[in-house]
Amino acid sequence: MLKKILVGLAAVILLFVGFVVTRPDTFTYQRTSVLPVSADIAFPLVNDFHRWTEWSPWDGLDPQQKRTYSGPESGTGAGYAWVGNDQVGEGRMTITDSKANEQVTIKLEFIKPFAATNTTTFTFSAAEGGTQLVWAMSGENNFMSKAMSLFMDMDAMIGKDFEKGLATLKDVAVADAKKRAEAEAARVAEEKARVEAAAAAPAGEGAPAVAAPAVP
């Protein structure tokens, strides 16, 4: 009897393993949002890791997490590493390619709680009402991730975080656009006031005095 049970269990395991290995070898998860700002306003929020704390959907999971920045301030070669609690784990990101106002490509390396290396891309393009931003992550499925996909909807799980991040990024981008507009309005007003003040000044004011010729 026990032998039959073990044989049956082994058969089930083999069937399960056989089914798991038929799952896709690669994955891509992505979400899209239209931001009501120009690309030159939205792009720096992604291209500079220092600004990710303003919109990343994972940043608030561990207020005590340690962050380390390396390389240039932004763009290709810029790096960011983090170490946190069980919710955020440990990992690092490196910008491998950066095209101004068009695309940012990132090498994403997870160290804990599991090891994995994926590619993340942010693609910016003109759209009605502003800028379309596509956030995508792609990589290879190992046996464990294939097995997990049978019990969890990974696209829904990761997509939910992407949607949250894009919504917050939209708010930050709108705030930045407002600040830029206010700064430009102040600059124009200051320049206008300067021109008007110069026009209102008496003719010749500020010019050096010319001595009258001596009368013999």
- Residue-wise pLDDT for 146-160, tens only, equals 556 555 677 888 999
Number of domains observed in the structure of the chain: 1
Q: Tens digit of pLDDT for each residue in 115-151?
A: 899 999 999 999 999 999 999 999 876 646 655 655 5
Query: Structure pTM?
Result: 0.78
Asked if residue 215 belongs to a domain, the reply is no
pLDDT value at position 140? 75
Which residues form the domain of 58? 23-180
d(CA 94, CA 80): 7
Q: Does the structure show a pLDDT above 70 at 175?
A: yes
Asked if residue 185 belongs to a domain, the reply is no
The C-alpha angle 170, 132, 48, rounded to 5 degrees, equals 55
**Strand, helix or coil for residue 3:** helix
CATH number at residue 31: 3.30.530.20
Asked if residue 145 belongs to a domain, the reply is yes
CB-CB contact of 74 with 92 (8 Å): no
d(CA 158, CA 29): 7
Place of tokens 């291209």: 47
Asked if residue 206 belongs to a domain, the reply is no
Asked if residue 14 belongs to a domain, the reply is no
What is the mean predicted confidence (pLDDT) over 88-111? Answer: 97
Asked if residue 205 belongs to a domain, the reply is no
Asked if residue 190 belongs to a domain, the reply is no
Asked if residue 211 belongs to a domain, the reply is no
